[in-house]
Amino acid sequence: MFLCAGHAARCGFQNIKIVTVDSDVAVLSIYYQNLLQSSLYLEIGTSTKTKLFDLKRNTIDKNLREILPALHAISGCDSTSAFSGIGKVKCKTVMMSNKRFIEAAKSIGNNYNISDNVINTLEEYMCKLYGTDHTNINEARYHLFTKSKTIPDPNRLPPTRDALYQHIKRANYQTREWKLAMDRFYQWESPVGHGWMDTGGVLNVNWMENKPAPDAVLEFASCKCKKTKCCNKQCKCKSLGLPCTDLCECVNCENEPIASEEQKDDEVVGDDEGMDDDVIDFDDLLDEGDEQFFL
């Protein structure tokens, strides 16, 4: 799509409109506007509810525009997972609060491989995202687990460092592909080894390389219920007052975590039928007084 837009611009077309319901396309439209010689218009929405944006007239912060693809990939897109209870607005706010975070995000996707310095900075960013001052995500995870007076919902804890590393690699790979979207010729690299793995010819997400906890803990805090739907105290998780997790091997489980009101308020969910669940509210990207961005 953007390869075609670039071709149209080179052929002398002054105005180009992109019509989409996909938030990934919307993000890239903002990112690529200043790289095109033509005026780019974005129409996003459904057949019954659409908005038209003149991207040439937008006043989105320059740093935010540059890191938008990376921020979108880190916070969750079509090919990367999101963090439970943490919406894109919070991800943007924390990212823009620290110059080192911004510079690290700018380097995401510049190459297929990502440096240790950038990974360490993004790890610190993730700690801030979960409200701690740690720089080690495992320490932040332990701190949040132990400070709670009750057993916390595991879905509300940060990922392990191993899982975060794989997530960053996926975000970097996806951002790299986006940044090359207008290149007619480039050396494509397989996603295998960049947060994905080849399992018998099928591409699967590589969630982590190591176990999420010691064997003794995994045995203690997971279940294998087949017939009870984890509804009684025979379920190890239920008996501990814990919801079942991906570590469990249960069938037809009904012992799922209940989202708190805080979690419901914090999550960003698209409410327009036919649009992505991770659709971006462009109002959140604009500063007060930027109404001229809308047509």
- pLDDT for the residue 145: 85
Statement to judge: residues 52 and 80 lie in one domain: no
DSSP string for 105-168: HHHTTSSSS--HHHHHHHHHHHHHHTT---SSHHHHHHHHHHH-SSPPPGGGSPPPHHHHHHHH
SS3 52: strand
* Confidence (pTM): 0.75
Statement to judge: residues 150 and 246 lie in one domain: no
Statement to judge: residues 205 and 227 lie in one domain: no
Q: Is 187 a domain residue?
A: no
CA dist., res. 260 & res. 54, Å (int): 38
- pLDDT for the residue 161: 94
- pLDDT for the residue 284: 54
Statement to judge: residues 24 and 152 lie in one domain: no
- pLDDT for the residue 261: 45
Statement to judge: residues 111 and 246 lie in one domain: no
- Per the structure, how many domains does the chain have? 3
Statement to judge: residues 71 and 203 lie in one domain: yes
- pLDDT for the residue 182: 85
pLDDT tens track, the chain, 295 positions: 888 888 888 888 988 898 888 888 888 888 888 778 788 888 888 778 888 888 887 778 889 989 999 999 999 998 999 998 899 999 999 999 999 999 999 999 999 999 999 999 999 999 999 999 999 999 999 899 888 777 677 778 899 999 999 999 999 999 999 999 888 887 889 999 999 999 999 999 999 888 766 666 666 677 889 989 999 878 888 877 778 887 788 999 998 876 544 444 444 443 333 344 444 455 555 444 444 444 4
